[in-house]
Amino acid sequence: MTIERDSTRHPLAIRNVTVSAVSRPTPHIARITLSGSELEGFISSGPTDHVKLFFPDPATGEIAAPALTEAGMTKPKGGAVISRDYTPLGFRSAGGQYELDIDFVVHGDEGPASAWAGHATVGDSLVVAGPRGSKLLPSGATHVILVADETALPASSRWINMLPTSVHITALFDVADESVESYFSAAQKARMSAEWFYRRDGLGQLDAALRALGEIGESTFIFLAGEASTLAPLRRYLRRELGLSKQQVTAEGYWRRGVTNADHHEPIDPTDPED
């Protein structure tokens, strides 16, 4: 059976929201709950959806973001536009209250998103745009392999929550250390066969683990997301050496070491003409 993944579009929405809770599921991941009436109608129906978050300019405290008017979308009126992509981890609505959870990897104060999340407190403001669309679960898949670093744990969480129990899940996680293993709930851990690799133990572990899975059947779908240059050889192995189809393999460079605001639409491997 061939694997297919349908897409759906959502109405464009740009929403002003306020931080209503902050917690730390792991020492270096800040879970920030965003609330506000403008979240009414928020839709995210795919495990790999993303929103664009607009952050305050640290110099002025002002958020420069586009706005939606009856005439369409207007550009920010001035100031530095600081935006980054994040995964909507969870959305709740009850009794006219709306809450959106986002998990931010806190990797220091060099990146404005990480710096904001690391210091965020209840009452802080943010602007959320999107998701513009959703890629739905792959139809025809009986097995899903997730390969993720910390930035793709929210997407992994969504895969685990959304996939029907008939689909087997194998996960290979590339993380800083064992403190990250507390990220998933006991129910989520029971749902998958997971292996954890710690970066302090050296490079190349993901590659070896992927190869150790052996043959990959045509009803297996593989989602890889995280640092772009780490993913390039993994995707090459799956597509070139194993000859898996494009429909079976999605590799998303969520960030690139040494690059500010890396564009995830850029090829993860610029030397690969098929990328």
Ligand X SMILES: Cc1cc2nc3c(=O)[nH]c(=O)nc-3n(C[C@H](O)[C@H](O)[C@H](O)COP(=O)(O)OP(=O)(O)OC[C@H]3O[C@@H](n4cnc5c(N)ncnc54)[C@H](O)[C@@H]3O)c2cc1C
Could you tell me if 56 and 76 are in contact, meaning their C-beta atoms sit under 8 angstroms apart? Answer: no
Instruction: Determine the number of helices (DSSP H) and then strands (DSSP E) in the chain.
Output: 5, 16
Site for ligand X in 87-126 (CB under 6 A): 87, 103-105, 107, 110-114
CB 250 within 8 A of CB 222: yes
Print the binding letters for residues 208-247 with ligand X: x by CB under 6 A, - otherwise: ----------------------------------------
Rounded CA separation 259/220 (Å)? 32
Q: Which is nearer to ligand X, 109 or 274 (CB)?
A: 109
> For residues 19 and 23, what is the distance between their CA atoms, to the nearest angstrom?
11
Nearest CB to ligand X, comparing residues 110 and 201: 110
Q: Under the criterion CB under 6 A, does residue 255 sit at the interface with ligand X?
A: yes
* Number of amino acids touching ligand X (CB under 6 A): 27
Query: How far is the C-alpha of 275 from the C-alpha of 269, rounded, in Å?
Result: 7
Annotate each residue in 157-196 with x if it binds ligand X (CB under 6 A) or - if it does not, as one string.
----------------------------------------
Verify binding: residue 7, ligand X, rule CB under 6 A.
Answer: no
Q: At CB < 8 A and 24+ separation, what contacts does 59-65 make?
A: 63/125, 63/126, 63/127, 65/14, 65/127, 65/129
3-state secondary structure 151-173: HHHHHHHHHHHHCCCCCEEEEEE
**Nearest distance from residue 104's CB to ligand X, in Å?**
5
CB-nearer residue toward ligand X: 47 or 111: 111
- Candidates 21, 162, 203, 259; binder of ligand X (CB under 6 A) is 259
Here's the x/- map for ligand X, 40-69, by CB under 6 A: it reads as ----------x-------------------
Distance CA 28, CA 114 (A): 10
CB of 226 to ligand X, least distance (A): 8
Nearer to ligand X, 104 or 183 (CB): 104
